Amino acid sequence: VQDDDLGGLRATRQRRAVLSVVEDLGVFSGARAVHEALEAGGHRVGLSTVYRSLHALAELEFIDSIRGEDGETLYRKCAGESHQHLLCRHCGTAEEFSASAVKALMEAWVSVGGYRDVEYVLEMYGTCPSCAFENDNRSC
Amino acid sequence: VQDDDLGGLRATRQRRAVLSVVEDLGVFSGARAVHEALEAGGHRVGLSTVYRSLHALAELEFIDSIRGEDGETLYRKCAGESHQHLLCRHCGTAEEFSASAVKALMEAWVSVGGYRDVEYVLEMYGTCPSCAFENDNRSC
DNA sequence: TTTGGTGCAAAACCTTTGCATTAGG
DNA sequence: CCTAATGCAAAGGTTTTGCACCAAA
């Protein structure tokens, strides 16, 4: 991707590298993982800059962020408006899916309760088929 | 509440105080907030004990835990099996609701994708009616 | 040139852990 | 008694921040 418009942010070498790496990684990744991937790719970017870039990019919705179970913030390039993911506990694969039913349900409930400005996050954790297969054949 | 059966855990003074405070607080609260509430109530409990108690109580599902947006782990006494909350951004009020539709949707999607052992968390953030009213009448 | 961005190291934060002491059952 | 539980302090990990320097526009 060669999207140079970062919505007001300066298109620095570091920021472009961070965005590129997040896009390439595909799976939800923490700042540390992104930093290591950058070094592995030959890019030299400070860890603080990685944090700042990820934060800024998420703020502008160039990437999507969720909280991992251990409290780490994870980022991923994400097409979507709403946040609905099915994540594999083992390999980190994240599949997106559309769940208009959830949206409808939410809106219905919200209107009954009188809530406003509602956003929602639906996260589902499971074991994907390939990981399930591996776990059946191995001890761990 | 005077539920002394902590499912295998010793009913220590500290643990009972932690559980009691979490029940009294009502809203999702972090370990630090619980600790402060304990001190305010005259109970002397170490911060580590608060963390350990909350963790243990959540493990045994005496209380429910979620991750706050800032990474803090929040706890609350919770009736429910599944994790579906509508939280007010302003006052922290959390309403529970049943969403069998979400469950059905999840199970349907899971069976199609072949995922196993799926758990899910549906969190919705909004502004509750009373807070919305206050915000309409005040500047902040 | 101007101002936002960067890098480094230190600090802030929440949370966990080692270890001697205490107290529940 | 026996062992889990506690408290303290120190360490762990992630994220933020102060400040001098650098580079995009």
Query: What is the sign of the dihedral through the CA atoms of A70, A85, B67 and A59?
Result: positive
pLDDT at A30: 92
Decide which of B92 and A25 is more confident: A25
**Res A117: pLDDT:** 60
Per the CB < 8 A criterion, the answer to whether A38 and A17 are in contact is yes
Q: Quickly state the pLDDT bin for B138 (edges 50, 70, 90).
A: very low
The predicted pLDDT at position B130 comes to 58
Q: Do B86 and A118 lie within an 8 Å CB cutoff? A: yes
Residue range B31-70, pLDDT digits in tens: 999 999 999 999 999 999 999 999 999 988 889 887 777 7
B131 in contact with nucleic chain C (CB within 7 A): no
Please compute Rg for chain B using Cα positions.
18
Size of interface A-B (CB pairs under 8 A): 110
pLDDT digits (tens, 9 = 90+) for A62-113: 888 877 777 788 898 865 444 555 554 444 455 555 555 566 656 665 565 6
With contact defined as beta carbons under 8 Å apart, do B45 and B17 qualify? yes
Angle among Cα A99, A55, A28 to the nearest 5 degrees reads 45
Question: Can you give the distance from the CA of residue A140 to the C1' of nucleotide C24 in angstroms?
Answer: 37
Chain B residues touching residue A125 (CB < 8 angstroms): 118-120
pLDDT per position as a tens digit, A50-60: 999 999 999 88
CA of A13 to C1' of C3 (A): 17
Q: What is the pTM of this model?
A: 0.65
Torsion of CA A16, A22, A24, A27, to 10 degrees: -170
Q: According to the model, what pLDDT value does residue A39 have?
A: 92
Q: How confident is the model at residue A140 (pLDDT cuts 50, 70, 90)?
A: very low
Positive or negative torsion for Cα A83, A87, A92, A98 = negative
Instruction: Kindly compute the dihedral angle of the four CA atoms of residues B125, B128, B134, B140, in this order, to the nearest 10 degrees.
Output: 0
Helix axes B100-113, A100-113, angle to 10 degrees: 170
Interface-testing mutation among B85, B122, B136, with chain A (most A C-beta atoms within 10 A): B122
Q: Which residues of chain B are within 8 Å of residue A127 when distances are taken between CB atoms?
A: 115-117
Query: B38: phi > 0 → left, psi -120 to 50 → alpha, else beta; which?
Result: alpha
Through-space separation of residue A46 CA and nucleotide D22 C1' in angstroms: 14
User: Mean pLDDT throughout B27-31?
Assistant: 88
Q: Over the stretch B57-104, which tens digit does the pLDDT of each residue have?
A: 998 888 988 777 778 898 988 654 445 555 554 444 555 555 555 666
Identify, with chain letter, the residue nearest to nucleotide C14 (CA–C1'): B72
Residues with CB under 7 A from strand D: A 10-13, 30-32, 47-48, 51-52, 55, 71-73; B 9-10, 12, 14-15, 44-49, 52-53, 56, 71
**Residue A6 pLDDT > 60:** yes
Q: Average pLDDT of A26-43?
A: 91
- Rounded distance, CA A122 to CA B103, Å? 11
**CA–C1' A75–C12 (A):** 23
Lowest mean pLDDT among A9-18, A34-43, A97-106: A97-106
Contacts of A89 in chain B (CB under 8 A): 117
Exposed / middle / buried, residue A105 (Cβ in 10 Å: 0-12, 13-18, 19+): buried
CA closest to C1' of C22 belongs to B12
Q: Does the pLDDT at position B132 exceed 70?
A: no
Alpha helix (H) ranges present in chain B?
13-25, 31-40, 47-59, 100-113, 129-137
DSSP β-ladder status, A83-88 and A116-127: parallel
Average pLDDT of chain A? 72
At B67 the pLDDT is 77
Q: What percentage of chain A carries pLDDT values higher than 70?
A: 52
Residues of A in contact with B121 (CB under 8 A): 121-124
Does residue A114 register a pLDDT over 90? no
From the Cβ of A85, is strand C under 7 Å away? no
